[in-house]
Amino acid sequence: MGSEIPSHHFHKHDFQEFDRRLRAETSELEQWFANHVFLQGRTKGGYELEAWITDKDCRPVPLNDELIKLCHDSHVVPELAKFNLELNSEPFVLHGDALRIMHDEFKGHWEKCNTAADSIDTQLVMIGILPTVTEQELIMANMSSWQRYRALNEQVLRLRQGQPLILDIKGREHLQLSRHDVMLESAATSFQIHLKVNPDNVARCYNAARIISAPMVAVSANSPYLFGKDLWDETRIPLFEQAVALRGYDDGPCGPVRRVGFGIAYVKESMFECFKENLECYPVLLPVSIDDDDAEPLAHLRLHNGTIWRWNRPLIGFNLRGEPHLRLEHRVVAAGPTVVDSIANAAFFYGLVCAMSEQSPPPEQRLSFAQARSNFYQAAQHGLEAQITWLDGKKVLVKELLLHELLPASRQGLQRLDISRDDIELYLGIIEDRVRTGQNGAAWQRAYVAKHGRDMYQLTMSYQGHHRKGDPVHSWPV
């Protein structure tokens, strides 16, 4: 889904041809797994950031085409709405000073984009849901110019047979509305963490990433408000799931499944299980004609995978020599509040996946998938105050689990990667301080409203002021 497509109109034969190629590529991929063709190598990390473009009063402005041209940076691309953009990183070998190097690169790209934004009297805001956005701004006129977004909108409505998309979120307050387009999705922006691992351990890492999605979403929550309503700590989770609410095949072997969601089961033996599930359980959404002479291998399979939004997504990539590798995309973390908070979130994730993927017995044997999924939604709704069921049926508060078990495990994982000890202490120290103070982005926003009242513009202006200073969110005064 990261590339432009030539058209947003499709015909019956387009779906038939795409399905034929998808089936052939899925069979080819099965042979790749059987023949162990995926690259071995050192563990690598990266990220994608989705950000908001606003005016100086923190109102969203639809200027991503203009801003991207001014950035002169191939790492910066459009997102669904004209008031969003996406910033992508290079991959980094997770060793030594990698986290500090990643931090410096992220900061440099972010500052470059902000300089470009200043030149047209705009600014970038790094937050899960912009508190000032209104339903009236999430309209088709503000959809980005890329064809793929219009195609996505048309095909979602086609599969829903014209039925409206219903937003119904019950949190501290209740929000209900209906829409006939997918633009609500653009109100949810994230910091997506990528992890490339060796094929012999990727299934264990993928299961670990799903298990730790609950504490990850709790510690990084930054989206409590939508259209003035106080909802979940990470309202972005139900918002995205309901904004593109599609089911899989009614008669598919997976049973009732959602196209945006946590998934249906752990990987048992091979990551191929995910791609087989893609073929068998989800209808083709974007049957784009791809020229075999110009495309990378498995182009149809990879495009189809990009239209299935698991909160932890398996990915197949290629290096400059065309050699394939496997990586994970962890999508549960909200954008922001700052660059250093984002790198701390990534560091915590990398270390924790590394540690849990090597535990014996495997944690996926000690926690059912259904419970891991339930934990995720509990943590998204209640944040650091959530109570979840952990390994071996233990009932725990997320913040206690983080302090006494998961932070030490992440530290051990980063040490195994031979990450700089100073960087381990810096970035995991930020996570620890965030948990001890109880102040992530969501908690700070609610504390501000409790003290100053529910003025979404003043809230966002104050948030942006603290963000520009760059201090981690746990230290922000209210």
Residue 159, amino acid = L
User: What does DSSP assign to residue 87?
Assistant: E
What percent of the chain has pLDDT above 70? 98
pLDDT digits (tens, 9 = 90+) for 431-449: 999 999 999 999 999 999 9
Q: How confident is the model at residue 252 (pLDDT cuts 50, 70, 90)?
A: confident
Q: What is the pLDDT of residue 1?
A: 43
CB 391 within 8 A of CB 374: no
Going by pLDDT thresholds of 50, 70 and 90, the confidence category of residue 8 is low
- Tell how far CA 284 is from the center of its chain: 22
> What's the predicted TM-score (pTM) here?
0.96
CA distances from 34 to 165, 199, 301, 411, 432 (A): 41, 11, 17, 34, 42
Single-letter code of the amino acid located at 252: G
Residue 408's H or E segment, with its range, is helix 407-416
Q: How far is CA 267 from the centre of its chain?
A: 20
- Concatenating the DSSP letter of every residue in 6-73 gives S-S---HHHHHHHHHHHHHHHHHHHHHHHHT-SPP---EEEEEEEEEEE-TTS-B---HHHHHHHHT-
User: CB-based burial of residue 265 (10 Å sphere; 0-12 exposed, 13-18 middle, 19+ buried)?
Assistant: middle
Q: What is the pairing mode between strands 309-310 and 260-261?
A: parallel
Angstrom distance (rounded) from CA 346 to CA 413? 13
Architecture of domain 12-475: 2-Layer Sandwich (3.30)
Q: How far apart are the C-alpha atoms of 341 and 433, rounded to whole Å?
A: 11
User: How much is the pLDDT for 322?
Assistant: 86
Provide the percentage of residues in the chain whose pLDDT is more than 90: 89
What are the counts of helices (DSSP H) followed by strands (DSSP E) for the chain? 16, 16
Side-chain half-sphere CA neighbours of 195 within 13 A: 29
According to the model, what pLDDT value does residue 7 have?
59
